[in-house]
Structure formats: C-alpha cells, structure tokens
Amino acid sequence: MAYENILREDEGGIARVTVDRPDKLNALNDAVIGELQHCFEALRDDDSVRAVILTGAGEKAFVAGADIGELAKQTPLQARPLAQKGQHLMDTIEGLPKPVIAAVNGFALGGGCELAMACHLRFASDNALLGLPEVTLGIIPGYGGTQRLPRLVGKGRAMELILSAKPIDAAEAHRIGLVNKVFPQAELIPATEKALRKMLGHGPVAMRFALDAVNHGSEMPLADGLDYEATFFGLLAATDDVKEGMTAFLEKRPAHFQGH
C-alpha cells in the first residue's frame, strides 16, 4: 500500500513510522488513522522488524490532535464508529509483540497524546507539550485517553489533566510518569534508536512474552495476572534462547539469541 500521510523507513530491524502532515501539525484524520492501521498490522507480521519508533514530521508536532474540521462534521451515528476506529488503531499499537517507542517531538495533544499513550514507551523532546484538551470542544477523549491515562499516571492526575484541559510540558510529563525520558530535540531520535538497539540484544521471545504479560496481566485480578506470568515463565524454560542466555551468563560472554 502506498501511503500519502505517513512514512515508513526500516533499518537494521527498526522501523521508523512518521506521521507526515507538517502543514497540519500532523493532525489525525480518517485517512491517517487508516494508513497507520495498515502500517502497524504490516509491522506486526513482518519478522524483519523487531522494534518501532513512532514520531511526527518536523520539529513542532508529534501529532497535534485530531483534525477538528473533520470532527465538526460528524453526526452521532458517525462519531461512535470513528472513535472505535481510533481505539482499534491504539489497541493494535499497544498489542504489537515488539517494542514501540513514541518519539514525542513537539505537540502531542488530544488524539496525539492518545497515540503516544498506546506506545509501550514515550520519549519526549524538551519542547514537547502533552495533554487532552477535548472538553474545551465539548467532547471527551475518544481514542482511549480516558482509559489509558489513569493507568499510566493514576486516577487523580488523569482527572486533573482531562478536566482542566491544560497541556503539560515534557518535564512535568516525566515527573508524573506520562513520559519515560526527556531529551533535547536534536538528540531525541538518536537516543530512541540507541535504546531500541540495546533492547534488540535481549531475548526476542522473552521480550514478546514480557509485553504480553504486562499488557494483558495488568487488566486482570492479581491472582490471575500472576498465573498468566507463571505460564509464560514456564514456556520460556523450553526455549533455546533461555539455555543460551543462562549459559552466556555463566560463561561471562554476550548471549547470541536466535528467537526460538
């Protein structure tokens, strides 16, 4: 599929996906959501890709929000399916069995913040602004923001961010746990790539199981989550990778994982 609104670049097992509408501050519209959905489904099934960076074109915005001109035309019968389409994209990104880091290089507001929250980690440039301003438009976050934000920062802080509609800078987002690390703008992508390169040296099966255990286990009662974790722990014991990892540790050498 040829993309008109996003770019995909692959190098050394890492795919960089860029929302490419800088004239619109990379705002999400129906076409962008559709292209991202197709792209992330392809990334999920592409064994040559082991990790993903998601970012926005330019230096002003990651994704500044939804396309308000498009939203303003929605009828009640259209709005619910639109929200579900956005939620499906976020679920696809969150459920990817390989690490996804959002490189938040500027505004990440509304749908942009929701897109970043769907990623497994969030690295931000020091000029980034994050927030959910939807109530100022008479709507609420519709792409998972009311659900993911409390899980990341706690119910009280999520309520404050959603109800106040005020964006926060990268330093505050880091303080409350919304982003994992903050870098100067010029260092954001290199630092994100460096972090993923380090992850690529870890056991790929273990990484996939760890992502699954956290994503699904966190939605379960503790006892069920622990049982889910123990199942993966047991399955890993049968892999060649675990034998290689343990042997390499005992022999004081780097491990050479094969992914099985």
Catalytic residues: 114, 134
- Residue-by-residue DSSP string for 6-44: EEEEEETTEEEEEE--GGGTT-B-HHHHHHHHHHHHHHH
Task: Identify which of 100, 103, 117 has the alpha carbon closest to the alpha carbon of residue 208.
Answer: 100
Alpha carbon 80 to chain centroid distance? 23
Can you read off the two tokens belonging to residue 56? 């926005």
Q: Which of 161, 140, 36, 47 lies closest to 86, judged by CA?
A: 36
- Least Cα distance to 13 among 93, 115, 98, 96 occurs for 98
Q: Residue 49 in 3-state DSSP?
A: coil
